Amino acid sequence: MNYTGLVSPSAGNTNGGGWQYGICVGGATPQIGPGSCSSATGGFDFVGGASGSYTISVVKGAAGFTDYPSYTCGNGAGNECNFTISDFRGKGPKQIPITFLEAPTVSTSATMSGAARVGNTLTCAATFSGGTKTYAWFNNNVKITSATTNKLVLTGGYYNRSVKCQVTATNGAGFIASDSAAKKIALGAAATIRVKPTISGTVKVGKTIKSSTGTWSRAGTYTYQWKRNGVAISGTAAKKASYKVVAKDKGKYLTCTVKNNKAGYASASSTTARKKAV
């Protein structure tokens, strides 16, 4: 509240220089008689200079705030509630209608958009009657402390987990939260091959040859399987990038299948062109 034109206290003017205020209920005309103002808030005064400002906080339902009998302070139809101020010099009163700040309500419940699979991004949204919105995400009902925006990038660790979001609206009167339905996170899409792996070295009995990894749309960890005429060669020696050509390979065609693996994503494979062992 801003004020101007107050008369400073002086001899013979002990009531100058201040205001009195009260919270009054029960009618559209000024209510300043005994019992018509809430005793918890009425009767306060202050003395200051000729002009200045003062902040008054009125909270509906706060301890000590009582409505006038048969009336209720509120925003509904017929609920009359006024802030009344009177100059100590007897000028006034002036009534200002009060609109109480209500806690937000949910207009549209929280939802998540975006495909629920590793590698994608989920977006959380909800609408409220008012207030400031904040966001939280949950992984198997455990809050993800690092996720505080309306978006969540689904990394590999979310595979096969249950994810949901929560939106909270807050104002000076309170808060309300809305949770989305949970979604189970599926495997991310497999990487795609861009340049196939190749075999290097002389494919001759007793020589060691090697397979490259190839070039993929997404890096990963790689496993290898050497094959003889299209059939997997048994043993750990045939599961490495390098392979020593043995007598059994002579006259046969050798290939290597390279598999791209990454946690939370489907795996993918690519096979080299075949080369005949001599």
> For 58-81, what is each residue's pLDDT tens digit?
555 544 445 555 555 555 555 556
Q: What is the rounded distance in angstroms from the CA atom of residue 43 to the CA atom of residue 65?
A: 13
> In the predicted model, what is the mean pLDDT of residues 157-186?
96
> In the predicted model, what is the mean pLDDT of residues 216-236?
97
- Biggest CA–CA distance in the chain, Å, is 125
Mean pLDDT of the chain: 81
Q: Is the pLDDT of residue 114 over 50?
A: yes
Q: What is the rounded distance in angstroms from the CA atom of residue 132 to the CA atom of residue 126?
A: 12
- Asked which of 90-99, 145-154, 238-247 is least confident by mean pLDDT, the reply is 90-99
Q: Is the pLDDT of residue 194 over 60?
A: yes
Question: Would you state the structure tokens that stand for residue 67, as one six-digit string?
Answer: 């409505």
Residue 68 phi, psi (nearest 5): -65, 140
Question: Could you give the domains of the chain?
Answer: 1-100 (no CATH), 106-184 (2.60.40.2700), 193-276 (2.60.40.2700)
Q: What is the rounded distance in angstroms from the CA atom of residue 253 to the CA atom of residue 227?
A: 8
Q: What is the DSSP letter of 17?
A: S
Q: Is the pLDDT of residue 168 over 90?
A: yes
- Asked which of 25-34, 46-55, 114-123, 260-269 is least confident by mean pLDDT, the reply is 25-34
pLDDT of residue 3: 61
Give 37's strand partners. Answer: 24
What amino acid occupies position 121?
A: T
pLDDT of residue 33: 40
pLDDT of residue 118: 97
pLDDT of residue 73: 58
Name the region of 249 (left: φ>0; alpha: ψ -120 to 50; beta: rest): alpha
